[in-house]
């Protein structure tokens, strides 16, 4: 849940968390149904501009390839997503199953199949149970509505090993005073690594824009949110994030005051023309969903946040944050309540970022308490010190933050993750059985 602390002071009067999930957006309907481990979500948003970001894995699922082609046209009207089967590494049959999923949805919703995106999540390398999926699409098509419950049902239907559904929504006052809404649902708990993870995320807005602008906005938000989540370091074959805009508010996210042609929404030459409040609103929503995924990591008992400051470049800040949050040794230390600063410094060192061990600062905190383990290269948490005792107490909490100052520049980044537990091994050892 987005809190006041998640919104910087510069935007607290411009962005606020609201209820409704993806259905906070008007002129959008959704539904979700399940049958055991299988589920189907439908999202109906007629004639929406769309942009997407997908897995960078060279092994891609049939629905990823299909949706990439579909959104090249710039518009979609519906999304059909299933859980329980990834429809990946399934050959020509998988492609046919993907096409039949869309054809079924097209017939039931009376929408051209070229306006329907699709996504799947679940076990890789297994044939789609089309009899079950088809029945679920039929059932979901009869339940489409715009409501909080419908958003929750859609979020639940795409869950796999998730233990909680994930949704978020914000209301944004644009720089010109107009108001738009952004809402989203997502799933993901395991096979989560940079370049997204085994995640599906669908985000809607009633703002008015075009595909080119949406793409710029989405890439920025994904880079600082979903690409900064690490649960286990494995990268999925099915990652899909779609951002679509139905324009029903009639309020543009392009700041025409910075544009010579105020009547042309497509005339966007640089990022300065994108409404900063909208970009920040999407950033906040995506970070909220990313943190929800990290907190629900497979088998997780603790949430881990790694904040890096003082980096020479933005890239350095990001790779250090990800290096620490993905380290199995750091993650197991967090599980065991061990403030092992040596493992943290080790992970900083192999990140390839510009750093000097003699100037690094490392601290851990939980709630309102903070303690330094290393300050400007000097170790403060040797055995028997008060710093170590305080650190050991803080490590017992459910949410842990590691703060790192590289003292190399002015760039920063935050990564999100969780501990690595016995239950993670159990869940994945028994995943297909």
What residues are labeled active site?
Answer: 198
Is-contact 360 404, C-beta < 8 A?
A: yes
Cα separation, 53 vs 240, whole angstroms = 6
Q: Is 117 exposed, middle or buried (0-12, 13-18, 19+ CB in 10 A)?
A: buried
Contacts of 303 (CB under 8 A, 6+ apart): 291, 294, 295, 398, 399, 400, 416, 417, 418
Tell which residue, 256, 34, 24, has the closest CA to residue 136. 34
Tokens 């993870």 locate to: 197
Cα separation, 185 vs 283, whole angstroms = 14
């Amino acid at each position: 849940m987005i809190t006041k602390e998640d919104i910087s002071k510069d935007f607290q009067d411009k962005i606020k968390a609201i209820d409704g999930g993806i259905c906070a957006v008007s002129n959008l309907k959704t539904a979700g149904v399940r049958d055991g481990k299988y589920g189907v979500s439908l999202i109906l948003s007629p004639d929406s501009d769309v942009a997407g970001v997908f897995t960078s894995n060279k092994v891609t699922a049939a629905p990823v390839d299909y949706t990439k082609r579909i959104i090249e046209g710039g518009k979609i009207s519906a999304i059909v997503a299933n859980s329980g089967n990834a429809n990946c590494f399934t050959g020509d049959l998988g492609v046919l199953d993907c096409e039949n999923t869309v054809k079924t949805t097209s017939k039931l919703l009376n929408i051209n199949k070229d306006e329907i995106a699709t996504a799947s999540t679940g076990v890789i390398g297994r044939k789609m149970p089309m009899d079950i999926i088809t029945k679920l699409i039929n059932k979901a098509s009869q339940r489409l509505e715009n409501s909080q419950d419908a958003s929750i049902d859609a979020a639940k239907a795409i869950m796999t090993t998730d233990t909680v559904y994930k949704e978020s929504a914000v209301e944004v006052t644009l720089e010109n005073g107009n108001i738009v809404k952004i809402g989203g649902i997502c799933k993901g708990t395991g096979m989560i690594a940079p370049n997204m993870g085994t995640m599906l995320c669908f985000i809607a807005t009633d703002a008015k824009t075009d595909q080119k602008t949406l793409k710029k906005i989405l890439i920025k938000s994904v880079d600082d949110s979903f690409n900064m989540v690490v649960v286990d370091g494995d990268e999925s074959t099915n990652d899909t994030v779609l951002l679509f805009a139905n324009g029903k508010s009639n309020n543009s996210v392009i700041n025409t005051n910075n544009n010579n042609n105020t009547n042309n929404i497509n005339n966007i030459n640089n990022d300065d023309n994108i409404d900063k409040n909208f970009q920040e609103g999407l950033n906040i929503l995506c970070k909220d969903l990313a943190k929800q995924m990290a907190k629900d990591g497979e088998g997780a008992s603790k949430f881990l946040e790694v904040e890096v400051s003082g980096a020479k470049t933005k890239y350095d800040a990001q790779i250090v944050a990800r290096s620490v949050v993905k380290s199995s040794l750091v993650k197991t230390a967090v599980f065991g309540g061990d403030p092992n600063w040596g493992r943290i410094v080790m992970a900083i060192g192999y990140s390839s970022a510009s750093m000097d061990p003699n100037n690094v600062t490392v601290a851990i905190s939980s709630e309102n308490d903070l303690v330094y383990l290393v300050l400007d290269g000097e170790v403060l948490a040797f055995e028997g010190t008060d710093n170590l005792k305080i650190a050991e107490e803080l490590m017992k909490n459910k949410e842990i933050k590691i703060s790192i100052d590289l003292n190399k520049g002015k760039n920063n980044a935050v990564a999100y993750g969780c501990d690595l537990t016995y239950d993670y091994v159990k869940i994945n050892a028994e995943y297909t059985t």
